[in-house]
Amino acid sequence: VMVSAMLLPRTVASGDHGAWIAGLLVADSVSILACSWYLVHFFNMEAKLRRRLFPRQLASLALADLLAGILVLLYIFFKFPAYYAIIPDRDLYCELVYDLYRWFRIVSVFQEVHISFVFVGQCLRADRFLTPMRSGIWVLWVVGSIVAFLEGVFYRWSADSVHKTCTPSGV
């Protein structure tokens, strides 16, 4: 994602959106590989290590980022004419892809905040604070689901047939 962010100003100014898409594709692929690598190694760890808080937090974050990365690929493929042509209901496709991406993105943000709070709690040696944090990772998925659903109710996405992309409805 960092590569595509660096390429964005130059490629938009020159009108070369292919370079931006290529950068995003490379960055997203690297992210998917890294998340997959961690999850494979997490499940191969000793059970004693898997039960520790930080490896569990990272595994939950890697899962959310892996799923979001796959959905970014589906969004990128939407730009390719051959893929665009085979999608029967483009509005539904945009809605589903973006709703799922929104869900995993929000869960990912909550996971990162959870990791930050735990680091602060460990620095302050706040054991009373850390105890509920150890068992609260699944709560982040539930709260993220609720927030993503509420955001999805107000911000719908649909297909833009002119630009062959997904855009917010009403734009």
Three-class DSSP labels, the chain: CHHHHHHHHHHHHHCCHHHHHHHHHHHHHHHHHHHHHHHHHHHCCCHHHHCCHHHHHHHHHHHHHHHHHHHHHHHHHCCCHHHHHHCCCHHHHHHHHHHHHHHHHHHHHHHHHHHHHHHHHHHCCCHHHHHHHHCCHHHHHHHHHHHHHHHHHHCCEEEECCCCEEEECCC
Residue 152's pLDDT is: 85
- Between CA 49 and CA 56, with CA 52 as vertex, the angle to 5 degrees is 100
Q: Is the pLDDT of residue 97 over 60?
A: yes
Contact yes or no for 103/145 (Cβ under 8 A) = yes
Q: What is the pLDDT of residues 110-148, one digit of tens each?
A: 999 999 999 998 899 888 888 888 888 899 999 999 999
The residues with which 158 forms a beta bridge, in sequence order, are: 167
Q: How far, CA to CA in Å, does 150 sit from each of 88, 102, 143, 171?
A: 27, 11, 11, 20
Q: What is the pLDDT of residues 45-62, one digit of tens each?
A: 999 988 888 899 999 999
Residue 166's pLDDT is: 77
Q: Which has more pLDDT, 104 or 166?
A: 104
Q: Which has more pLDDT, 37 or 121?
A: 37
Residue 15's pLDDT is: 54
Its sign, for the CA torsion 132, 137, 139, 143, is: positive
The pLDDT of 69-91, averaged and rounded, is 81
The pLDDT of 25-39, averaged and rounded, is 92
Torsion, Cα 156 30 23 63, to 10 degrees, reads 10
Cα 145 to chain centroid distance, Å, stands at 13
The residues with which 168 forms a beta bridge, in sequence order, are: 157
